[in-house]
Structure 1
Amino acid sequence: MDRRTFMTASGGYALAALGLPDLDGITRRTRAQSESAVKVGRGEVAAVRTMIKSLGDAAAEIGGGHARSTAVHYLTTSVSKWLSGSWTEEVGRDLYGATSQLVHLIGWMAQDEGDHGFAQRYYAHAFRLAAEAGDAELSATALRGLAVQAIDLGYRAAAVQIAEECVDQAKRLDDPKALAYYETTLADAAAQDDDRKTATQMLSASQAHIERASTEAGDSWASHFSIGRWAHHSGMILARLGDYDAAQDHLHHSLDIHGLDRQRSRAIVLADLGTVQFRQENYEAAISTWGDFLDCANGVRSIKVSDAVDDMQARLRRIRGVHGAEDLSERAANMT
C-alpha cells in the first residue's frame, strides 16, 4: 500500500472521519422503514453471530485467506439485506453491532492476506457501524485493527495516534481483558516509535488488567485476548525494547498456555521465538524452533506466516555454516 495514502487516510480516521458517525442514524431509520421491507428480528442477529464464530474459528486456525470470499459473500447477500430491512431500534443496534464484528473480521482476513487497502476500508466501516450501534468496545476494536495495521506497515506516528484513540474509546469500559487488549496495542506502537516510557507504562497497565481478567472467552474480539496472547504480544514488545531474555520467557510462556492452540497462532509465536533466539546468537535453538514453526505452518494461508518464512530464510543465509541451517532453508524454500 502506498505510504502517503495510508498516512493520510489513517490520520483522517483517527481525528475526523472516525469521529463523525451518524449516531442518530438507527433511530431515524427505524422511523422511516417501509412496510414492505424484510422483517428482521433476534434470529437474524443470532445467525450473523453464528457465522462470525464459524468463519473466525476457521481463519484463526488456517489463516484469513481461506474464508474471506465466503465472509464477503455472506455480508453482501444476506446481511446487507437485513440492514435495509425492518427492525426495532433495539434489534437494529444489535444488528449493527454484529455486522461491525463481521466487517472487522473481513478486514482482518484481508490484512492477513496482505491486502492492506481493503483491510483499512473495512476497519473504518466497522468503526462507523459500531459507533452507530453505541458499542464502545467494538469501536475501540475497529480502531485497534487500524493501529495494528499501521504497526505492521511501520507507520510509527499513525500507529501511536490511532492506538491512543483506541485506548481513549475504551475508557468507558469496565472489562479488564478489553482494557489489556487495547493498552497492549498502544505499548506496541510506542515501542516501535522508540517511546520506552509510554511502552513500559502501557505494558505494565495491560499486565495488571490481564492478570485480573476472566479466563472465559466471550463473543467479542477483545474477550478472546487470553493471558497466552498477552504473553506473545508482551514478549514481542520486550524484544522491541531490547530485553531479549524477558521476551524469550514471555514467548515460552505463551506457548505453554491454553488459548494458543490455534495452528496459525502457534506458528507465528514459534517464528517470533526463533527470531529472538537468533538475535541472542543462540543459533542452534533458533534452528530447532524454526523447524517446529515450519511443521506448524504447513497449510496456513497468512501473510504473517509467509513473511516469517522469508525473514527466517534471510537470517539462515547469514549462518550457513551452522548445523541444520541449510537443511532448514531447503525446507522453507519448498513451502514458498
Structure 2
Amino acid sequence: MPFLIDVLDLRLADAERRSPTGEGHPASGDTVASVLALGRSDVERRQFLAASSGYALAALGLPDLDSITRRTRLQSGGAVRVGRGEVAAIRQMTRALGDAAAELGGGHARHLVVHYLNADVDRWLNGTWTEAVGRELYAATSQLVHLAGWMAQDEGNQGLAQQYYAHSYGLAAEARDAELSATALRGLAVQAIDLGHRAAAVRLSEACVDEAKHLNDPKAMAYYQVTLSDAAAQDGDRRTATYYLAASQTNIERSTPEPGESWASHFSIGRWAHHSGMILAQLGDYEAAQDHFHHALDIHGLDRRRSRAIVLADLGTVRLRQDDVDGALAAWHEFLDCSDGIRSVKVEDAVHDMRARLARLHGAAGVAELDDRASAR
C-alpha cells in the first residue's frame, strides 16, 4: 500500500472525486455503495466520462480496510443472511459469463453481468454475514466487477471500464486479497497501454507488480510481469521490457497449466506467448514475434475464438512487416473466418487496421478479394 500511495499519488477515500457520470460530489468512502450506484447508472445508460490517464489514477482512492469489520457491526436483523453458498454462486456466474465473453467478445451480454450485480449481489452485499464470509463476498464481487470492466472495455466504453476496474480494486483491497488487487491494477494498466497513455501505463504496471510481490504463484507473477514489460516497451524502455519479459517467461514455465478460479490463474502459456510476441514485435524482433504467435496458436488450442482471432490479426501484421504479403493475406483470411460474429472493439480495430494496410498494397494479388471480405462484415 505505501507504494501505491507514493507512486500513484492516491488520495484519501473521503477526498472529493468526480462521479462516473462526470458530476463532482464528495465520495462517501463506501466502496459497496459506490459500486452499486455505478451498476445502476450503467443500467440507466448514463453518459460516462471518457477514459484518460489522469482519471485512471485519480479514480483509485485509498481503500477502506475496516469496511468489512464495520459492516458486520452495523448489520440489521432483517437483512438476508449470506453464506458461502452465495459466494460460490457469484463465482460460478462470473465464470459462466466470462467464458461467454471470452468466446464471443465483451459486446455480448454485458447487461447480464450488470443485472446480476444489481439484482442479486446487491442484496447479498447489504445482507448479514460474518467477517470471514464478508471477505470472500467482497473478493468474489471484485471478480464480477472486473468482468464488467473488461466487457465495457471490449465494447469500447473506456470511461465506464475505468470505473469498474477502480471499484474492483477497492473491493479486492478491502477483502485483503493481493492477487485480485493486482489484477484490477493490471486491468487499468492494459487499458492505459491500449490508449497510448505511456507514463500512466508504466506507473500502474509497476504498482501491479509491487502489489503481487508476496504472492507464491508463478502464473500470477508472469501475468503481471509481462504487462510491465509491455508498458515499458511502449514507453521505449528496452532494458526494462526485456528484463520483465524474461522474468515472466521464467515464471510461466514453472507454473502449473490447470486454471483456478481467479483471472490470473487463467493466464496460460499460450496467452503468454501472444503477449510476448507483441512485445517482441514492438522491440523490432519480428522473427521471434512470429515464432511466439505460432506457439500461441499451436498450444493454446486457442480455445476462445476472440483470442485466436486477435492472434491471427497480429500475425498478419508482423508478416507484412517482414514483406511476406502472401503470408499476411493468409493470416488475415483466417482472422476473418475466426472473428465472424464476435462483438469486440479490439477485433473491429484489427479489421480497420488491416484494411488500412491493405490500401497501401493496392494492386497486389489477393488484396482486393480480402478487402471485399472485410468490407462485407
- TM-score band by shorter chain is over 0.9
Partner AA of 1:67 in structure 2: A
Match of 1:209 in 2: 251
Tell me if the contact between 2:49 and 2:160 (Cα under 8 Å) persists in the aligned partners.
no
Tell whether the 8 Å contact from 1:10 to 1:162 is kept in structure 2 after alignment: no
Q: Which of 324, 335, 350 is equivalent to 1:293?
A: 335
Please, which runs of 5 or more residues in structure 1 have no aligned partner? Answer: none
1:11 corresponds, among 57, 69, 73, to 57
Please report how far the alpha carbon of residue 259 of structure 1 lies from its aligned counterpart in structure 2 after TM superposition.
5.2
Other structure's SS at 1:188 match: helix
Q: Check if 1:104 corresponds to 2:150.
A: no
Considering fraction of residues, name the structure with more helix: 1
Check whether the contact 1:61–1:263 (CA below 8 A) recurs between aligned residues: yes
Alpha-carbon distance in 1 for matches of 2:355, 2:97: 31
Please say if residues 211 and 227 of structure 1, whose CA atoms lie closer than 8 Å, have aligned partners that are also in contact: yes
**Is the 8 Å Cα contact of residues 145 and 165 (structure 2) preserved in structure 1?**
yes
- Letter matched to residue 12 of structure 1: A
State the distance in 2 between where 1:205 and 1:125 align.
Answer: 29
| 1:84 aligns to 2:130 (yes or no) | no
Segments ≥4 residues shifted beyond 2 Å? 10-13
Q: Distance in 1 between matches of 2:109 and 2:319?
A: 33
SS in 2 for 1:64: coil
User: Equivalents in 1 of 2:207, 2:63: separation in Å?
Assistant: 15
| Match for residue 71 of structure 1 among 107, 110, 113 | 113
Offset of residue 9 of structure 1:
1.4
> What is the CA-CA distance between 1:11 and the residue it aligns to?
3.1
Checking the alignment, whether the CA contact within 8 Å between 2:183 and 2:264 is kept in structure 1 is: yes
Deviation at 1:12, TM superposition (A): 2.6
Query: Displacement of 1:31 after TM fit?
Result: 1.3
Query: Which of 118, 140, 156 is residue 160 of structure 2 equivalent to?
Result: 118
The AA in structure 1 aligned to 2:72 is T
Matching of residue 148 in structure 1 with residue 190 in structure 2: yes
Question: Do structure 1's residue 243 and structure 2's residue 289 form an aligned pair?
Answer: no
Partner of 1:284: 326
CA distance in 2, matches of 1:97, 1:251: 34
CA RMSD of aligned residues (A): 1.1
- Distance, in Å, in 1 between the alignment partners of 2:252 and 2:321 is 28
Aligned counterpart in structure 1 of residue 75 of structure 2, from 33, 50, 73: 33
2:271 touches 2:300 (CA, 8 Å); kept in 1? Answer: no
Look up the SS of the partner of 2:256 in the other structure.
coil
Q: Is the 8 A contact 1:229 1:259 kept in 2?
A: no
SS of 1:197's partner is helix
The equivalent of 1:233 in structure 2 is: 275
TM-score (norm: length of structure 2): 0.86
Compared CA separation, residues 69 and 2, structure 1 to 2 (3 A) = closer
- Report deviation, 1:261: 1.5
